Structures are given as C-alpha cells and as structure tokens.
A and B are shown apart, each in its own frame.
Chain A
Amino acid sequence: MKRFIGFIKKEFYHIFRDRRSLFILFGMPIAQILLFGFAITNEINNVDIAILDHSKDNTTEEIINKIAASKYFSIKQMITREADIASVFQKGQVKAVLNFEKDFSKNLIKDHKATIQVITDATDPNTANTITNYINAILQQYQKELNKDIIIAYQILPQTRMVYNPELKSVYMFVPGVMTIILMLVSAMMTSISITREKELGTMEILLVSPLRPFQVIIGKVVPYIFLSIINAVVIVMLSIFIFNMPVQGSLILLGLESVLFIITSLALGILISTISATQQTAMMISLMGLMLPVILLSGFIFPISSMPMPLQIISNIIPAKWFIIILKAIMLKGVGMQFIWKETLILLGMTVFFIALSVKKYKIRLE
C-alpha cells in the first residue's frame, strides 16, 4: 500500500509540474464549455433581412412592422429593384429577402390571395430553414388576426408543446455533449500519454525491474486522473448551472456516480491506447482521432443518431459516449432515476470491464 501511495504521489508531481497537462486538464474544459455555450448556437437572433416592397400599402407595412418588432429579425435595408436581390446576397449583408408582390393589399381583398416571396441564403441550410419557419409563423399569426371575425368551417389547430426544453435552448444540448467530450479526452488522452511517456523516457524499464505489479502501475496511473476528472465534472456542472441556467432535474448523486463510471470507462480506454502505442505522439493522435471524432460525430451530441444511415447507427452503439450522453440528458433534463437508465448504465459498465480486461491482458510485463 505504501508503494502504491508513493507511486500516486509521483504521478501528482508529474501533473502539477507540467504546465501543458495542467492547461489541458483545467483550461480546456472551461474554454470549451464557454465556447459551446455562448458562441455555437442553433437559435437565431437579430438576423439581418432586406425587404423589396412593390406595393407599399397598409398591409405590407403592417407585416413589415410585425417582422421588425420580433427579436429574431432586424431590417437592414429596403431595396427597390429585383436586380438588387442577387447583389445583397452576394455582399452577404442579409440572410433573407422578403419580396412583396405588386398590389399586395388589393389582391388580398379582391382575390383573397396575395403572395410574398421569401428568399433565403441557404449557404447555411439550418439557419435558412429556421428563418423560413419563423417568417411563416409571423405571417400565419398575422393571417389569423385578419380572419378573427370569420369562422372557417373546418379547422385543424395543432397545439404543440416542447417538453424538457421549452425554450429550445441549444445550451441544453451542448452541455451534456461537451461534458462527455471533456471527460473522455482528459481521462483517456492524459492517461495514455502519461503511460507512454514512461515508455518513451525509459523509466518503464526500471519500473518493470521492480517489485511493482502491473496492476499497481496501471491503477497508480489512473487514480490521480479519476480525482482530477471528478473535479472537472463538478466544474462543468457548476458552470452550466450558474452561467447557462441549465437545470439538473434529477439526482445530483446519481449524476455524480454515472460520471465516475464514465470517467473509469475513458481511463480504461486510455490504458488500452497506451498498450498499443509506443510514443506519446502516437497515443495523442489515437486519442484525438480515435476518440474525439467518433464522440463528436457519432454520439448523437450534434447530429441525431436516428437520422444517420443504418451502418452508422449500428456503429454508434459501440461508442461509450453515446450512452453517457443519453444518461446525462435523462438525468439533467428529464429528471429520471435509475429505473429509466439502468440499461445504458449496464452497457457502460460492460464496456468498462471489457476495456480493463483487455488492457490488463495486453499490458506487457516485459519489453517485447
């Protein structure tokens, strides 16, 4: 036991004396969570649009006022010719142009029908889609106001309700994802690097020719990172609660326990990476390419798994991060307890046991 504590003490010296690893450990999580929380968002706010009003009557003015009054759009300029539409898009000044037809009001009264052309810049398809939806919503609202005295014979009124995230805040989606990425990266990359560093510097040779058992070396490497990752997880949850008002509906204790489980999964992966790479650089590349990319692309963090092609959906099942994100969302947003996430927890647990068994088996007690 004394040997073991001595080993862990040494690991802490390594971590606290290396500015780079300290930065990755504590700087990166905070930077990432702030970046994802503030900068990267699917919501639209104050989108610049242009208006081409061929009729300039009361109705168009009312519509324009309604749009200008919403927080989503700000009217950047009024244009007068069709030819200008292309040029404002090319200059990138606006994301959308509303084109009111000639005699808009007159047509509406006479033919009960008038058209607005909504042209959006679809270089960013998601934003274009959202803009179109929002404008449609405003127009429908206006239409309802116009028809309020008239009774339409058949009416279907959809009543939508968005549960768990009624304001559709994207930060609710990013926090679980970012937490997953950070825990995975810190745990897996840092352990694999710290084990391969011993190989690279030749100190592994001395550790092997000592009474330390392989599992003591491995656990000794892992314990400091469990502590540091738990601190990281706490920091992330605090940041998301206090800065982004992210709710934690479920039990904090359950959240903590699940996080520890995922940290151990990642550490086991890190050990596995270190057994197959000889240098710190390889370990880092494998961690970054082999873990980061799948976590971002296939875990359901950014792209919904249900809309992926079948083969990718199947592959996504072997990515631990997918299960952890499901668990996190369930606890933080839905507030459910163990009875709803035991399956995911069991899968993570199984993966962890598998990775640990594999790395103990692959860990070399000799140099070859």
Chain B
Amino acid sequence: MKHVINALDFTVEEIDELIAIAEDIMMYPDKYSEVCKGKKLATCFYEPSTRTRLSFESAMLSLGGSVLGFSSGESSSAAKGESVADTIRMISCYADICAMRHPKEGAPFVAASYSSIPVINAGDGGHNHPTQTLTDLLTIKNLKGRFSHLTVGFCGDLKFGRTVHSLIDALVRYNDIKFIMISPKELEIPDYLRKEVLDARGTEYREVNILEDVMPELDLLYMTRVQQERFFNEEDYIRLKDSFILDNKKMSLAKEDMFILHPLPRVNEIAVEVDSDPRAVYFKQAKYGVYIRMALIMKLLEVVPC
C-alpha cells in the first residue's frame, strides 16, 4: 500500500505509468467501468472544495465504485475535537481508500501515518495538492506529447501559488525544460524555489514582468490569479493587475500550438473572450483531472481491468 502526499512521491517512471493508464481510460472508458466494483472511496474534506471532491467522486463512480464522506470540518467529528489520527483509523474500517482535504498543512501526512488504507492528499492548506499537479502533467503530456524541450511560462501569483511550485518541482526532473516566470515583483517565486529547486538542478529560467514580451516564446502558459490582498497597497495592484490579464490581443502574439492552463477558479486574469480560443484548455483540464484520479485510485487499490 502506498499513500500520495506529494506529487514528488512518484518517480518519473511511475508518473509515466499513471499517465499511460489515464490515457487508456480516456480511449476505452468502458474497459474500466467496473474495475472498482465493491470498493469504497471516503472523501474526507475538512474544508469545502467542491471541484476537487466532485472530481474524486466522479472518478470513483466511473470505476464502478461507491463513495462516502463529509464535505466540511463542521460536519465531521473534528468539530468534537477528534484528531486526524483517530478519524483515519475509523475511516479505515469503512472504506478502501481515502481522499483527504484539510486546511492544516501536513494533516494528510499524519493520516497516512496511522491509516491502514491508502490516503490521497486532496490539498492541505497552501502546502501540497498532488492530484492538481498530476492533472497538469496529464494535460501537458496529452496535448504536447512530451515533458521535455518545452518553454513553460508561469504568470500571476508565483509567490503563494502552490500549484505553480508543485508543477515546477515536477517538471524540473525532465530534460531541456525552460521556465519564464512572469509576475509583479511582489509576487515573484520564493527564494527556496530559486535556490533549492531551479539553481540546484541547473534549470534555465528567467523572471520578467511583462507578459507580452515573452508570449511568442512559450509552448505553455500556466495562468494564476493575482489577488488584490497580496499587494502592499492598492496603487501597486491597480498599476500591475492589467499586465497579468490574458486577452485576445496578447493571445495573438502566441504560437499556434501554445496552450493556456489554469488550475481554476479564474476571476478576471483570463478574459472571457479567450475561452473560445482552441488554445485555451483550462476547462479540458478539469476532465483530465477525473482521468488521472481514476488512474491513481486504480494504482493505489492495485486493481486492473479484466
């Protein structure tokens, strides 16, 4: 049995294997429609996250399994003061696998330490969200066909955006990958990411603050939301916010085969007019999220199609 706490828990080979399963599910969904018959997924969500929870539930139902769980801390025994360690030992008696979302960082790690069933981290505070990273990887692999020889732009809040940090962590393991970080000074990537990940690996990257300048170079653009509360003053926010809004004018500078990704929800950082551009794949990403979670559940439950 294995747990999934961090996307880096998987080797490059294991990620390839997961993606191969997910791509096979996409092509032959009927083959997998009953592989988890009789199995139960517990979705233990200590804070609301409709998208992630429904994605897990949709994945398990598509595999023929069933789901149970709770969708907020208030509706669980945590409200009565029960520890994560005790809750997971109880859940282990009711289900075969657990997806856990918790506002506190490291809670799924604690659960995994006490669990007798596989635990998947479905997001722990601002820390890890491995299934989002796996979703991003499947999206990239399926649309670009490779992880190597790519120039990937990250735009917006690169300081607090855990999906950005996690995807960079996962992508630096591939050859000839180049990053362009596009953000205001206030929201640049954290220093540890520069030193311990990018510099340590010798990965090529540069940091800029004008999106238009780099659009023609990009094979992928990963957009994130710039939140006003991250700025020290409103003046800076007003001055900078429009530089990081993607619209059709900026899209006209991009390559024909460039793709736009976004972990969603989006607010105003991608103009609605971009949605109809075939290069805008952020809604497709949600579909990929179900496929990769199906592959992950199968892998952890060690089930295979007949």
Q: Do A and B come from one complex?
A: no
